[in-house]
Structure 1
């Protein structure tokens, strides 16, 4: 097959929005098959062969739509988080000297877009087949004041699968007033057949980590990872390794490689984002350590630290974020 075929089917309606249908969009290049829901612009499955040709879903998937809707033990599995993935300490946002109070959903803090973030919305969408790649394009309009954020934001999430087994997730957004914007996907990856990721090998190109990080709130400093448990400059087996950290990424090469020796599957991650949250899923409600989250995004609590890369989006600008997940089955790489 030299084409990537797109299809769609209706899977139901949500309690929050009983009028609009939730649709599953699929992209298939005859080797990799990707499924995306317009509820939360969520990546629900990525079916990939191993070295023997056996196909398996390599992202964590919840059992049904109701499980994705549940607010209790919310894990944002596979979802698009916005307007701002990660935390805003105290829910306090100051732009151009004006203070805004964001909705709090993590004690005194605002996290992952708030209690009714982008992961809990039904997006508009369509899917297109193509000769070299297929695409699922999802759009959401977030009104002025949504979860406390200023300005109307028009956000787009695009999932693109090409004939070379590369899945690219691209976010774009525009606004009519200065606002905070930092979208990201929250998929958990498990490349093997085991229920836990302990046998996986992880390599990261990140020489510094955000310090502090108490309750996901950074202190404002970065420190080297050299000679620490977060030094993944060469592949480490994840057994007995617990990670829940935010790393400042090096530029110029793929930022992460995840390999499962048992299946031979290899995931290579490249991004234009300045940092990445890495979480080994130790408290996943589905099953502890069922998958690892590799989440490129803006730095947490960016608006409250002058030295962090800015996450402010202004009228006339277009927010862009692009991450590619290359899916391989080759032990030699």
Structure 2
């Protein structure tokens, strides 16, 4: 496995803190709350109840200078007014389902279609557009906030009364854990993840995230058709611009028009089939490195896939944090998941759950720094 030697983390034994606060209102007057998790190493995460959203993740560079490394909005109201999935919890089903339709036990279900004919990220009123309920906030060796949401039978077309829960945790070493859990009273499908877009250079960095280096430990990926639905094939990454088994710049291959998959996605917007598969404990799914600042982000997951999206549809129409106009490539998403359209692809890992077999996905955003200005090649 590819490793980076000498990563610096916090000293063990320090407590982490959780602080609850008001965070404005939605258009209908519903109050939104925020919980800020922080540790002694200067890592902090602010989570909104609206969309169970990771509004910010702050981490220091190699010189100790903190910066928010996620795209998003400064004001809660903007997440409702200008939705773009920044940092939100997506569900019931992250990514795309072809035609917004799937069959379960002989019955066909028609879902909300919000991506042309397809269903994307749970539909027009997915989990990202709900105000979650806080059920627990705690400080300690690991600070945490637990949020819950009830999704009734038929919600966006999905079967089963579903209770969804998201737990954010922060320890003193820089691990921001996100645990997704769900129970249903009938067979259904679930695929939840976080949709943070990262720029490790920090909010407003003019070069965006294209100078970052990325590693994904996956030998295959799932090619897509012109509507970004997987064809069902597991294609080898070897010899292609989709080979990130060794770290290389994000921008390398991003505009390679000789690859039809890059043309279809307007860049990278694909699922990688992780070599580790689905696991009981979170395993490494991606490593993102910003050599100039020394910031490193590891993404770990129990799920079998990860969607790498290079911010291709950011078109300058959204004004985000610190009055930054977001353009193509200003941030990238690394979304651990079950494969897109898995309910319609029996060969893909299943997204089905039963009343007696609840859904569980544990992912981690792990932040660290390289202690010196190493060349990205030294990340091998």
TM above 0.5, one fold?
yes
Structure 1 position 131, deviation (Å): 3.0
Work out whether 1:316 is the aligned partner of 2:359.
Answer: no
The match for 2:340 among 293, 296, 300 is 300
Residue in structure 1 matched with residue 183 of structure 2 by the alignment = 174
Counterpart in the other structure of 1:29: 39
TM-score (norm 1): 0.95
Structure-2 separation of matches of 1:223 and 1:297: 18
What is the rounded CA distance, in whole Å, between the counterparts of 2:97 and 2:90 in structure 1?
13
Say which SS state the counterpart of residue 156 (structure 2) adopts: helix
Whole-Å Cα distance in 2 between the matches of residues 69 and 287 of structure 1?
A: 20
- 1:76 and 2:85 matched: yes
Unaligned runs of at least 5 residues, structure 2? 1-12, 255-266, 278-282, 319-325
Deviates more, 1:323-332 or 1:82-91: 323-332
RMSD: 1.6
Indicate the SS of the match to 2:128. Answer: helix
CA contact (8 A) 2:24 2:77 kept: no
Tell me the distance in 2 between the aligned counterparts of 1:190 and 1:232: 18
| SS at structure 2 position matched to 1:66 | helix
Whether the 8 Å CA contact 1:7–1:127 is kept in 2: the answer is no
Contact 1:116 1:147 in 2 (8 A): yes
- Rounded to whole Å, the distance in 2 between the matches of 1:236 and 1:127 is 41
Deviation at 1:107, TM superposition (A): 1.4
Q: Select 1:264's aligned residue among 294, 297, 319.
A: 294
Q: Is the 8 A contact 1:153 1:173 kept in 2?
A: yes
Cα separation, partners in 2 of 1:69 and 1:320, compared to 1, 3 Å: same
Residues 1:203 and 2:207 are matched in the alignment: no
Q: CA deviation at 1:127?
A: 4.9
Aligned-residue offset at 1:63: 3.4
2:120 counterpart (107, 111, 116): 111
How far apart are 1:119 and its partner, in Å? 0.1
Using structure 2 for the length normalisation, give the TM-score: 0.83
Corresponding residue for residue 10 of structure 1:
22
Q: How many residues align?
A: 329
Partner of 1:146: 155
Q: Deviations over 1:117-156 (max 9, x none)?
A: 0000000015533332100111000011100111100000
**Corresponding position of 2:331:** 291
Show the counterpart of 2:195.
186
| In structure 1, C-alpha distance between the alignment counterparts of 2:250 and 2:355, rounded to whole Å | 43
Match of 1:49 among 42, 60, 65: 60
Verify the 8 A CA contact 2:96 2:340 in the aligned structure 1: yes
Q: Distance in 1 between matches of 2:312 and 2:245?
A: 22
- Partner residue, 1:243: 268
**Counterpart of 2:343 in 1: which secondary structure?**
helix
Comparing 20-29 and 206-215, the one that deviates more: 206-215
